[in-house]
Structure 1
Amino acid sequence: MDTVLDNPTRTFIEVTEIWVPKDGRLVLDSGSYGTLDGFAAASGEESFALGEGLPGKAWAEARPVVLKGFEGSYFKRTEAAAAAGLTSAVAVPVFAGDELRAVLVVLCGDDANRTGAVEVWEEKDGLLMLDDGYYGAAKHFEWVSQHTHFPKGQGLPGGVWSANTPMLMRDLGSGYRFIRAESAGAAGLTTGLGLPIPVPGGKSFVLTLLSARGTPIARRFEIWDARKAKVGHANEAVLVDGICAREGPLWSDETERRVSAWKGLIGKVLGSGLPVLESGAPGLAAGYDSMVALPIFHGSELAHIVAWYC
């Protein structure tokens, strides 16, 4: 049952955007900017060609891209970002086969208390290595991550890579399955979401979002499987895992949840095959300000939908 949630003091991610291709450029489909009206206005006037700016670079290189400093870089909204206190960003392309459907961009600020992680892992020589990531104040955890690699099936990134499915992991600081548990516990990291990022050419990338209690990435996570619909129930997705900081687990064998195409926000992703970002919308569950739902494809077929709520 949805309940009104206590608002956290601040979130790890300040801004979330969805850019979609239109007439050979990426244009803004939707964004969640909080109180950053100036950056929202600058973004609404922007568009990106292939290879241009951060969204265009993720499109051109067909891979997730981390940018941990804007000044002097290819980032196009540097002045507006500086005025808004934004310092880092990650762009994640959404491909269905060879077709780019959208680019998800998240932007973060930096201070002494903001803790969490947005990581991109890439397969190299049969292991997953950290391509790059943003960690806020979790500097020791960042160092540990830079010196950690994962074979298939090991840890959260390796588990996602092996199964080729999104995964949720709880109690990061004490869970034996989380390889970096000791440093995660010291950093206050509690919940991990890992998801495969399919791209053309067969390269393997995994995105991990690691949330801390004080500055959470999200307060609720959901994983929907679009392949589990029963015979006669095409265009349905099943909630196979979920967790909320206030509500606890959102799914069990006794409370299976289903959604049909175009029914609600998850159903909109299922029907369209496009990401959905809602901010302050009536369709959001009670107590949440924004929601991101990201489709994950196997080839050209929609396989999973991953959602997080703030």
Structure 2
Amino acid sequence: MDTVLDAPVKTFIQVTEIWVPEGDRLVLATGNYGALSAFEEATRAISFAKGEGLPGKAWAEERPVVLKGFDGSYFKRIEAAAEAGLTSAVAIPVFNDAQLKAVLVVLCGDDENRTGAIEVWHEEDGLLMLDDGYYGAAKHFEWVSQHTHFPRGQGLPGGVWSASTPMLFRDLGSGYRFIRADSAGKAGLTTGLGLPIPVPQDKSFVLTLLSARGTPIARRFEIWDSRPVKVGREIAAILADGICEREGPLWTDDTQEPPRRVNANQGNIGKVLATGLPLIVTGKPGLTEGYETLVALPIFDAGEIAHIVAWYV
């Protein structure tokens, strides 16, 4: 699958940041800002107390937070974001039981061509309801999502909720398992990644990333599972599922190759295994050929990393 891709296209997510606790504040660990150097400079000058700004709000409220408009909000970089053309953001906390490990923040711009979805679903009265989401130009799909709820095991959010594992859905517009297939197809959405977001207080949150071909969230998705390979103190993970947007699955069911496996500190996924922290890698050295950015996010369960989800652009 190490195939050279075409020149990068406009992506749905424009900025990705990782904030980590240092004392009583969140400080920037790393970020991918592309050409938005002025916004990056403004970001490096700040930090967040608990409850302050978008990362601090996700920390204090112990849940993923969607902010669809910055004007008049608690967002601290409003002027710099406006100059950069950024209009909305989602903050995703990474908790190991009650300990905050990091907050991953993604920021998007809004124009008539940018289509995709970043959704946060929460459990309420035995159903998953849309907490909020950002959809770009997919306005009808947004309306359908606002009026849709999922029992446990149904659709992508309900499937993730039931299994407590990340899941990939392919061919969203024609897939019978994707409840919103008709409106997804009309919006041009092609691939869906759903992942559980563990938080304290035994609450249920599911994050879904829905990618369109024209403005993709990612061109490659991977799900790594560390549960089947834990032996004693050894930490490793197996590539359990994945898809290249242009090339189909990473393997076929009749392949004779053994599962792909990484150990702690082996490559980028191994680094996440070793540190328990999300990772952003930019630049081609160390990445699969044809990709320029990697984002990898650990998902904890019972005090250990259970999965790592990764996406490449």
TM-score bracket for this pair, using the shorter chain length = over 0.9
Where does residue 275 of structure 2 map in the other structure? Answer: 272
Unmatched 5+ stretches in structure 2: none
The aligned runs of 1:98-113 (5 Å cut-off) are: 98-113=98-113
Match in the other structure for 2:214: 214
* Cα offsets for 1:115-151 (capped at 9, x unmatched): 0000000000000000000000000000000000000
Q: Tell me how far 1:299 sits from its aligned partner.
A: 2.5
Pair 1:302 & 2:305 matched: yes
What secondary structure, in the 3-state scheme, does the structure 1 residue paired with 2:50 have?
coil
C-alpha distance in 2, partners of 1:3/1:31? Answer: 26
Change (3 A) 1:281 1:4: closer
Shift of 1:172: 0.2
Q: Which runs of 5+ in 1 are unaligned?
A: none
1:270-299 C-alpha deviation (Å, 9 max, x unpaired): 111111111115111111111100000013
- In structure 2, the partner of 1:53 is 53
In structure 1, distance between residues paired with 2:245 and 2:219: 5
Q: 2:201 & 2:60 partners in 1: Cα distance?
A: 13
Equivalent position SS for 2:123: strand
Could you say what secondary structure the match of 2:182 adopts?
A: helix
Q: Structure 1 residues 252 and 269, CA, compared in 2 at 3 Å: closer, same or farther?
A: farther
Aligned residue for 2:287? 284
CA contact (8 A) 2:117 2:210 kept: yes
TM-score, length basis structure 2 = 0.97
Change (3 A) 1:24 1:251: farther
2:173 corresponds to: 173
Counterparts of 1:194 and 1:73, CA distance in 2: 28
Structure 1 SS opposite 2:202 = coil
CA distance in 2, matches of 1:185, 1:247: 19
Whether the 8 Å contact between 1:251 and 1:257 is mirrored in structure 2 is no
Which residue does the alignment assign to 2:140?
A: 140
Deviation at 1:246, TM superposition (A): 2.9
What is the rounded CA distance, in whole Å, between the counterparts of 1:7 and 1:161 in structure 2? 36
Alignment pair present for 1:121 and 2:124: no
Size of the alignment, in residue pairs? 310
1:188 maps to 188
CA distance in 2, matches of 1:86, 1:17: 14
Task: Classify 1:48/1:231 alpha carbon distance in 2 versus 1 (closer, same or farther; 3 Å).
Answer: closer
Is the contact made by 1:293 and 1:305 (CA closer than 8 Å) also made in structure 2? yes
> Kindly, what percent of the aligned residue pairs are identical?
75
Q: Please tell me the residue identity of whatever aligns with 2:274.
A: G
Q: CA deviation at 1:171?
A: 0.3
1:239–1:251 Cα contact (<8 Å) kept: no
1:205 Cα deviation after fit:
0.2
Q: State how far apart, in whole Å, the 2-side matches of 1:228 and 1:40 are.
A: 40
For 2:304 and 2:251, the matched residues in 1 are separated by 24
Deviations 1:64-98 (A, max 9, x none): 00001101100000000000000000000000000
TM-score (norm 1): 0.98
Please list the CA deviations of residues 29-87 of structure 1 after superposition, one character each: whole Å capped at 9, or x if unmatched. Answer: 11011100000111111100000000000000000000011011000000000000000
> Counterpart in 2 of 1:82?
82
Match of 1:25 in 2: 25
Q: Which amino acid aligns with 2:190?
A: T
Q: Is the 8 A contact 1:167 1:195 kept in 2?
A: yes
Opposite residue 150 of structure 1, the aligned amino acid is F
Report the residue type matching 1:139 in the other structure.
K
Q: Name the stretch that deviates more: 55-64 or 296-305.
A: 296-305
CA distance in 2, matches of 1:77, 1:28: 14
Q: Which amino acid aligns with 2:236?
A: E
Paired letter, 1:168: L
* Alpha-carbon separation, structure 1, partners of 2:54 and 2:69: 12
Letter in 2 for 1:306: V
Q: Within 1, Cα distance between the matches of 2:65 and 2:158?
A: 20
Tell me the C-alpha RMSD between the 2 structures.
1.2
